[in-house]
Amino acid sequence: MPSSGVLVCILRIITKISLPQTPQDLQASAHFYFIVTTALLLSCSHNFGQLTRKVCWQAFGILMIYIVTLPIFPGFVAENMESKLIRDFSLTAIYVMQSIKKASQSCISRLLFYPVFTACLHGPEWLKDEVLVVVVRFMLGLTNGYLTSVPMILGPKSLPVSEAELSAIELVVFLGIGLVSGSVLGWYWII
């Protein structure tokens, strides 16, 4: 969109003139900017709805990944004990499942982490065992990274080449929605 730079400048001038320069108004200006930008992004795709239906399960899987991970990871880790056994580790996935249905079911099954982490935090003493907590945290991280990658790989590959790039952009939009949703749900651990 060649006029995007002009639109950004006009939007910034409008918000600068119409809103005072207090922290609350700067925040409102940023929210307004991102809402308008998102609306423009969605309106630029004439077949956004049709394409979204084609990658709906991959998009839903990405959304579920971060709705589950972000409330648990920062909140639980902040309240959890420090590990004396395992500190830092890394694992690279070498296998990508090829079934969109299985990948989506795996993403949805991650909802089970909510009761598991709640039990580790507030349950009986045997569930607060350091080794069990480390294993559950490892599984959260492993499934988060792996199951984020799988829909991102399968989504564009499952469509014709002419739609692949746009579907990847849509999946990134759902990644952002999942990140925001998960961050908001992170208050679950505070409440």
Q: What is the mean pLDDT of residues 165-187?
A: 83
For residue 191, pLDDT beyond 60: no
**What is this structure's pTM?**
0.58
What does the domain layout of the chain look like in residue ranges?
1-44, 48-190
pLDDT tens for residues 145-159? 888 888 888 888 888
pLDDT tens for residues 26-36? 777 777 777 77
Q: Half-sphere exposure (CA, 13 Å, Cβ side) for 138?
A: 15
pLDDT tens for residues 110-147? 999 989 988 888 889 888 888 898 899 899 988 888 88
**How high does pLDDT run on average in the chain?**
76
Q: What is the mean pLDDT of residues 58-68?
A: 87
Question: Tokens for 36?
Answer: 């308008």
Which three-class secondary structure string do you get for the chain? CCCHHHHHHHHHHHHHHHCCCCHHHHHHHHHHHHHHHHHHHHHHCCCHHHHHHHCHHHHHHHHHHHHHHHHHHHHHHHHCCCCCCCCCCCCCCCCCCCCHHHHHHHHHHHHHHHHHHHHHHHCCHHHHCHHHHHHHHHHHHHHHHHHHHHHHHHHHHCCCHHHHHHHHHHHHHHHHHHHHHHHHHCHHHHC
Query: What is the band of 4 on the pLDDT scale with cuts at 50, 70, 90?
Result: low
pLDDT at 39: 75
